[in-house]
Structure 1
C-alpha cells in the first residue's frame, strides 16, 4: 500500500510539474508545450425541462508531462526500495 501511494505521489508531481513546464516553455523549448487532447463527450444524455444530464471526460497531455512521467517511473524504481522498507 505504501509503495502504491508513493508511486501515485510521484506520478501526480510529475504531471503537475510537466504541465507547468509545458505552459511556461517558449522560444527554442516551445516543443515541450506541444499537447494533444483526447475527449469523450456525450452531449445531453438526459434532457428534460427540469434536468439536463451530460457525461464527458477529457485529457490533455504534453511532451513535458511525458518526459516527467518517465523520470518519475525511473525515480520510483531507483528509490522505492530505499524509501519504503517492507
Structure 2
C-alpha cells in the first residue's frame, strides 16, 4: 500500500511539474509545450428531477511525458530505499 501511494505521489508530482514547465516553455524550448488532447464529448441524461452530464477531456504535453518518465525512473531507483517492507 505504501509503495502504491508513493508511486501515485510521484506521478502526480510529475504531471504537475510537467504542466508548469509546459506553460512556462518559450523560445527554443517551445516544443516542450506542444500538447495533444483526447476528448469524449459531453452527454447529458436529463429527467424532471435531476440532470447529469458526463464528459472527459485530457491534454498532455511533451514536458509532462518527460516528467512522468522521470517520476517512474525515480520510483524504481528510490522505492526500495524509501519504503522498507
Output the TM-score relative to the length of structure 1: 0.91
In the alignment, the residues of structure 2 paired with residue 4 and residue 46 of structure 1 have an alpha-carbon distance, to the nearest angstrom, of: 35
Give the 3-state SS of the residue equivalent to 2:84 in structure 1: coil
1:37-73 residue CA offsets vs partner (Å, 9 max, x unmatched) = 1011233x22456644211011010000000000000
**Count of residue pairs the alignment pairs up:** 85
Q: Which runs of 5+ in 1 are unaligned?
A: none
Output the TM-score relative to the length of structure 2: 0.92
Q: Which runs of 5+ in 2 are unaligned?
A: none
Provide the alpha-carbon RMSD of the alignment: 1.4
Aligned match of 1:23? 23
Runs of 4+ in 1 over 2 A off after TM superposition: 45-53
Give the 3-state SS of the residue equivalent to 2:5 in structure 1: helix
1:69 correspondence with 2:50:
no
